[in-house]
Amino acid sequence: MGAKESGPAATSALRRFEGGDRLHPELRQVLEAAAGFPPIHSLPVETSRTGLAARYGGLPKVAVASVEDRTIMTAGRSVPGRLYRPACPAARPLVVFLHGGGFVLGGLESHDALCRQLCNRLAYPVLSVDYALAPEHKFPAAVDDCAAAIGWAIDNAHALGGDRVVLAGDSAGANLALVSALLLKAKGLSVSALALAYPVTDAPDPTRRSYVERGEGYGLTAQSMRWFFELYLNDPAEATDPRVSPLRSELGGLAPTYVLTAEFDPLRDEGFELADKLARSGVDVTHVHQRDANHGFLAWAGTNSPSALAIDMVCEWLSQKIP
């Protein structure tokens, strides 16, 4: 069990520190295996997408009761999705999962292994959303897709095998989960919990300590983050929009939230800032900091000890918050 640290309830989130103080050897091996690949920001978008799909395609996939590709009908368009059902037929919370990839990369296949792990470990149905990607569909297309898809999931939860809705996402997907929860809250809709892994909460800031310390050499780079935002936004001025940078939003009234951060990640500090702002806003927040992990490590589910531990912890938290 990792060390716990908690500050005053009004100013600081309950924190747990897990893992050693060096990058885990299994994750170091993942980085070394990718060392020969060009940086994603140096490649055409389609080449980066194809390369990402190839890297994740060989991950081990645990069995679930069923996997079904679905079409999520929203007001403006149809959004592809994939529904994973557990063996347990009883009504359980439905997890709506939003994948990472900088708003530019990723999809149903890149996070298939992780969604299977969540479905299997929780015994909850999981709906993965294949939202529109930039640069073909710039901001706010992904936000609109995700908010509409989550609203659809709330309306159709029972038909999908769920009795409540939980939002989960990693990186850019965590950003979209948080932003969607805020938009839905403004409309009087709510979800039961949020689970946010190494979230994008603000525009790239080269002065943040984590950008300086962890902006190169650990997978996601500071330069790649700038590239993602250049492709995602129509204009740099949009970076201050709370739908892009939810750290700038009023966060009060959100459901219980789990924030996972990784030490070897340029997004580390904005994750800490989010957890503390949630706490100051009166949100029930738990923050787990994985000291031996880098950005994106959950996507390698089933191949390394840190991801197994992180999945176990978030699943345990969800089971406690939503019995």
* Residues recognised as catalytic: 171, 265, 295
Residues of the chain by 3-state class (helix, strand, coil), percent to 5: 40, 20, 40
290 sits in which H/E element? strand 285-294
Cα atoms found within 13 Å of the Cα of residue 248, Cβ hemisphere only: 10
| Nearest-angstrom CA–CA distance, 112 and 286 | 26
Cβ pair 257, 168 in contact under 8 A: no
| Nearest-angstrom CA–CA distance, 208 and 86 | 41
Cβ pair 115, 107 in contact under 8 A: no
Amino acid at 235: D
Among 271, 239, 269, which residue's Cα sits nearest to residue 257?
Answer: 271
Region label for 199, one of left (φ > 0), alpha (ψ between -120 and 50) or beta (otherwise): beta
DSSP string, 80-133: EEEEEE-S--S-EEEEEEE--STTTS--TTTTHHHHHHHHHHH---EEEE----
SS3 call for 153: helix
Angle at 320 between CA 318 and CA 322, to 5 degrees: 65
For tokens 């929203």, name the residue: 74
Cβ pair 87, 30 in contact under 8 A: no
